[in-house]
Chain A
Amino acid sequence: SAVISQKPSRDICQRGTSLTIQCQVDSQVTMMFWYRQQPGQSLTLIATANQGSEATYESGFVIDKFPISRPNLTFSTLTVSNMSPEDSSIYLCSVQLRTGELFFGEGSRLTVL
């Protein structure tokens, strides 16, 4: 299993500001994944954070809007830049074990006013 700590757990932000979400894992993992879940919706993969290289972004997500850092094998950050109300969502950090099982952090619930 894996224990993932994510913070902040929730925040209320003003339009045009940026917020950085932190994700800490209790073991070393090669890849960390950032998902977004809008209210009542499914999970959409934003990007895969790789240690030592740039993140790999999914279609519809760009680095300027969602810059990601991965300084070591246990930590990653996701920044939501220049926020608008459409960015109000839950952002989830996750890691995948060799068994294929995905472990998620508790999520960061962002509300943009």
Chain B
Amino acid sequence: GQSLEQPSEVTAVEGAIVQINCTYQTSGFYGLSWYQQHDGGAPTFLSYNALDGLEETGRFSSFLSRSDSYGYLLLQELQMKDSASYFCAAHNDYKLSFGAGTTVTVRA
């Protein structure tokens, strides 16, 4: 089966840096994605790592280590609008399996 582990919640202040870790156990793995979901909204794509290493997209970066079955999402220069749930998702075969999600709360 597929399983992904990520922290349930993180709280930080504006301007801070937050790292959300994700460990996975999945067969047929070929990549790790991250999604953001605001309350009442649909999940939206943030990043995708197919290869080991760091992918940077503006204030957000994502990292993957296949040998460790581990990845993380790094949120820099936190803003109030970054308060949301963040899901890691493992690509296997043709579909995605999602982690339980991490609720990030940004305080002023």
Q: Are B94 and A103 in contact (CB under 8 A)?
A: no
Q: Which residue of B lies closest to A30 (CB)?
A: B94
Q: How many residues of B contact A (CB 8 A)?
A: 21
Q: Are B96 and A92 in contact (CB under 8 A)?
A: no
Q: Which residue of B lies closest to A35 (CB)?
A: B98
Q: Are B50 and A45 in contact (CB under 8 A)?
A: no
Task: Choose, from A17-25, A63-71, A77-85, A104-112, the stretch at the interface.
Answer: A104-112
Q: How many residues of A contact B (CB 8 A)?
A: 19
| Partner of B48 from A100, A103, A104, A107 at Cβ < 8 Å | A100
Q: Is the interface of B mostly helix, strand, loop or mixed?
A: strand
A43 at the interface (CB under 8 A from B): yes
Chain B residues, Cβ within 8 Å of A104: 42-44
Q: Are B95 and A33 in contact (CB under 8 A)?
A: yes
Q: Are A41 and B100 in contact (CB under 8 A)?
A: yes
User: Assuming A100-B33, A100-B48, A100-B91, is B97 touching A45 (CB within 8 A)?
Assistant: yes
Chain B residues, Cβ within 8 Å of A41: 100-101
Chain A residues, Cβ within 8 Å of B31: 100
Q: Is the interface of A mostly helix, strand, loop or mixed?
A: strand
What is the minimal beta-carbon distance from A97 to any residue of chain B, in angstroms? 9
Q: Which residue of B lies closest to A92 (CB)?
A: B42
A76 at the interface (CB under 8 A from B): no
Residues of B within 8 A of A (CB): 31, 33, 35, 41-45, 48, 50, 87, 89, 91, 94-101
Given A102-B89, A103-B45, 4 more pairs with CB closer than 8 A? A42-B87, A42-B101, A96-B96, A101-B45
Residues of A within 8 A of B (CB): 31, 33, 41-45, 48, 92, 96, 99-107
15 pairs, A vs B, C-beta closer than 8 Å:
A41-B101, A44-B98, A48-B94, A48-B95, A92-B42, A100-B48, A100-B91, A101-B33, A101-B45, A102-B43, A102-B45, A104-B42, A104-B43, A105-B42, A106-B41
